[in-house]
Amino acid sequence: MIRLFVALDVTEEIRQRLAGLSGGVPGARWMDPASLHLTLRFIGEVPEDQAFDIDEALAGVRAPPFALTLDGVGVFGSGRRARVLWAGVERNEALNHLQAKVESALVRCGLPAEERKFSPHVTLARLKDPPQDRVARFLGERGLFRAGPMAVDHLTLYRSHLGNGGSVYEALRAYPLGREP
Ligand code: 3AM
């Protein structure tokens, strides 16, 4: 079985801006800047032969390239159960369109539909029982964060290797946007 997800890569310029946000929350596990990404669809564990179908399905996604802007920071979970610090994404119809195309391509190749609403973000850090005042201060101080626009011209299929020190992400294949069939 292999654990897969589909994401947009972050350009070097934006990577550096996001890396500049790290720090200030004791116990937070900050993402390695090289691993920053925007998940479009978590796939999960699939048998390797199904990965071939997924690859083919993603290669068939037709959508134009576009640009996106990162806007603000936030947290999933609240209080002591805050789990993830993230950078948000300005409302973007092209992004929603692409996500919907990826979703329908994956459902067509046999994966169960994603039940959760798409809430685009770039994970900055994972938290475990963080000091609430420090999370609040982080959000307050970084609330005006903006970066971009960033050009999006491909999707990437990632493999996630679970490990003790956190997951390691391996880019398996990139799929350019904007090709003619
Ligand atoms: O891109 P981020 O870091 O927000 O949290 C996992 C990570 O999200 C998420 O998929 C991304 C790549 O691992 N993820 C992990 N398990 C998940 C699940 N069961 C999940 N997303 C949805 N359902």
What spacing in Å lies between the alpha carbon of 78 and ligand 1's midpoint? 18
Query: Which residue ranges make up each domain of the chain?
Result: 2-176
pTM, to two decimals: 0.96
Q: Is 37 a catalytic residue?
A: yes
What spacing in Å lies between the alpha carbon of 48 and ligand 1's midpoint? 19
Q: Whose CA is nearest to atom 4 of ligand 1?
A: 123
Give me the residues paired with residue 30 across strands. 125
Q: Whose CA is nearest to atom 20 of ligand 1?
A: 42
For the segment(s) 2-176, the CATH number from 2.130.10.10, 3.40.50.2300, 3.90.1140.10, 3.30.70.100 is 3.90.1140.10
pLDDT of amino acid 179: 65
**Cα distance between residue 8 and residue 130, in whole Å:** 28
What spacing in Å lies between the alpha carbon of 40 and ligand 1's midpoint? 10
CA atoms within 13 A on the CB side of 121: 16
pLDDT of amino acid 162: 93
Q: Is 97 a catalytic residue?
A: no
Does ligand 1 come within 6 angstroms of the Cβ of 156? Answer: no
The burial of 134, by beta-carbon neighbours within 10 Å (0-12 exposed, 13-18 middle, 19 or more buried), is given as middle
Q: pLDDT tens string for the chain (181 positions)?
A: 999 999 999 999 999 999 999 999 999 999 999 999 999 999 999 999 999 999 999 999 999 999 999 999 999 999 889 999 999 999 999 999 999 999 999 999 999 999 999 999 999 999 999 999 999 999 999 999 999 999 999 999 999 999 887 899 999 999 999 966 5
Contacts of 112 (CB under 8 A, 6+ apart): none
Does ligand 1 come within 6 angstroms of the Cβ of 123? Answer: yes
**Cα distance between residue 152 and residue 87, in whole Å:** 17
Q: From start to end of 113-163, where are the E strands?
A: 121-126, 146-152, 154-161
Residue keyed to tokens 């609240």: 78
